């Protein structure tokens, strides 16, 4: 990469202040703006320069000085002109750098809020379709902005009359990181294609420190969405992991099929004066082929009441005991003309890795008042634990969901700066 810009092939004096004006491409450029007094004039092969107007000085020095050389997309470029513009209806401004190239004529490099895009002329005629879309041979673009612009400041040389830019109606269609731009007057229409460039790419291309460039603010119109590239592989991986989990679940379902070991309905008098924990309700013995998970499911016909059920699962051979307590409560009524329900008449407990052996259950129910309650008990070996399956699937889907919401939030910020919708 060149470090010092070479001496221009020719130069001449400003017709107003007589400061030397570098001429990088007299074969193409005929409009110039002095870098000392900011006089804008036309310079031709014959006759004296024609002063057209004068611009104010640039409010701040541009990040890329006039004459700076660099490489973008592997091609040599030189900054030969700098423009500061703004939309007619808004106050925000941006810079456009005119780039001279060796092979493909001129290009433009635009910078707004620290976001850069490289702009090249595009051949062809593109018609706007329904929903403000436009497409080329590769992709579809959505209308992002349509405006007229003002040129506020300028220095350097230009191959067109920059004052004519006020006559343009500019329509910008985006498909990040690309943009197709249409610049139209009553006489002609021209198209340009732009691609997003990161500050690091610009700094490396011109041999600068990234800190020397304008600070990035907000989301750029063409800035790539970081979640867009991550989301498809994340979804691909998540779907295959989910499929694997389901296959494993089905495999164990057939390897260790669920089996009902015991079911019975008990009748219990809830007279609290007669309750005694020394006389539990005892189930018959049943065999467990372990190690296995057991689901102990309870259904009680409690109505506007509650019942507390301490339960013990006891190995009849070793005496090993597994204990748990469930409170089943169910209330309902009408309040203010509206019905309400609280609680449920069913509950269950899951016991994991129960060893093989013969077991029985002891129940120690307690409740309020005097009621004749029926409660059904069912013991299932190797139950299908859908809650665990759904939990694992939810965890697998978590990262893609985060990326999905990040992607949408990023796009929302992008389109907040547009008068149109995606």
Peptide bond into 115 cis (omega under 30): no
| pLDDT over threshold 60, residue 101 | yes
pLDDT confidence of 8, banded at 50, 70, 90? low
Question: Which CATH code of 1.20.140.10, 2.60.120.380, 3.30.1950.10, 3.90.1150.10 fits the domain covering 259-383?
Answer: 2.60.120.380
Rounded Cα distance, 149 and 151, in Å? 7
Q: Which residues pair with 354 in a beta bridge?
A: 292
H-helix or E-strand containing 190? strand 189-197
Q: What pLDDT digit, counting tens, does each position of 221-235 carry? A: 999 999 999 999 999
The mean predicted confidence, pLDDT, of the chain is 91
Q: What pLDDT digit, counting tens, does each position of 164-205 carry? A: 999 999 999 999 999 999 999 988 999 999 999 999 999 999
pLDDT confidence of 7, banded at 50, 70, 90? very low
Nearest to 31 by CA among 46, 55, 10, 52: 52
Cβ atoms of residues 41 and 86 within 8 Å: no
| pLDDT over threshold 80, residue 283 | yes
Rounded Cα distance, 202 and 322, in Å? 69
Domain edges within the chain: 10-224, 229-252+388-416, 259-383
| pLDDT over threshold 60, residue 273 | no
Counting DSSP H helices and E strands in the chain, the numbers are 3, 27
Q: What pLDDT digit, counting tens, does each position of 132-156 carry? A: 899 888 899 999 999 999 999 999 9
Could you tell me what percent of the chain has a pLDDT over 90?
A: 75
Average of per-residue pLDDT across 335-356 = 93
């Amino acid at each position: 990469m060149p470090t010092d810009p070479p001496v221009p092939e020719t130069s001449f004096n400003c017709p107003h202040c007589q400061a030397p004006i570098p001429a990088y491409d007299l074969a193409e450029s005929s409009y110039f703006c002095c870098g000392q007094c900011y006089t804008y004039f036309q310079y031709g092969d014959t006759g004296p320069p024609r002063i057209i107007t004068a611009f104010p000085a640039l409010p701040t020095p541009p990040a890329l000085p006039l004459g700076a050389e660099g490489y973008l997309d592997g091609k040599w470029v030189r900054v030969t002109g700098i423009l500061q513009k703004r939309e007619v209806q808004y106050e925000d401004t941006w810079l456009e750098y005119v780039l001279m190239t060796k092979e493909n004529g001129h290009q433009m490099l635009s910078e707004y809020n620290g976001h850069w895009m490289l702009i090249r002329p595009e051949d062809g005629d593109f018609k706007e379709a329904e929903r403000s879309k436009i497409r080329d041979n590769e992709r579809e673009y959505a209308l992002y902005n349509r405006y007229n612009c003002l040129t506020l400041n300028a220095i350097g040389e230009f191959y067109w009359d920059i004052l004519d830019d006020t006559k343009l109606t500019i329509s910008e269609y985006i498909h990040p990181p690309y943009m197709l731009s249409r610049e139209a007057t009553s006489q002609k229409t021209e198209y340009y294609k732009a691609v997003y460039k990161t500050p690091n790419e610009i700094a490396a291309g011109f041999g600068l420190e990234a800190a020397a460039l304008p600070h990035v603010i907000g989301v750029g119109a063409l800035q790539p969405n970081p979640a867009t590239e991550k989301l498809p592989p994340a979804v691909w991986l998540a779907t295959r992991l989910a499929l694997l989990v389901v296959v494993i679940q089905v495999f164990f379902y057939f390897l260790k099929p669920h089996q009902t070991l015991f079911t019975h309905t008990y009748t219990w008098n809830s007279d609290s004066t007669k309750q005694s924990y020394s006389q539990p309700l005892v189930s018959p013995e049943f065999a467990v082929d372990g190690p296995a998970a057991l689901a102990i499911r309870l259904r009680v016909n409690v109505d506007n009441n509650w019942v507390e059920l301490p339960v013990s699962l006891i190995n009849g051979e070793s005496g090993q005991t597994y204990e748990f307590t469930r409170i089943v409560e169910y209330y309902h009524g009408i309040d203010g003309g509206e019905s309400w329900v609280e609680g449920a008449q069913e509950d269950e407990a899951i016991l994991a890795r129960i060893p093989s052996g013969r077991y029985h259950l002891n129940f120690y129910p307690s409740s309020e008042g005097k009621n004749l309650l029926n409660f059904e008990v069912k013991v299932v070996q190797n139950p299908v634990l859908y809650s665990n399956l759904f939990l694992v699937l939810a965890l697998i889907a978590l990262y893609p969901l985060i990326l999905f919401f990040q992607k949408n939030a990023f796009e929302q910020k992008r389109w907040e700066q547009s008068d149109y919708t995606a």
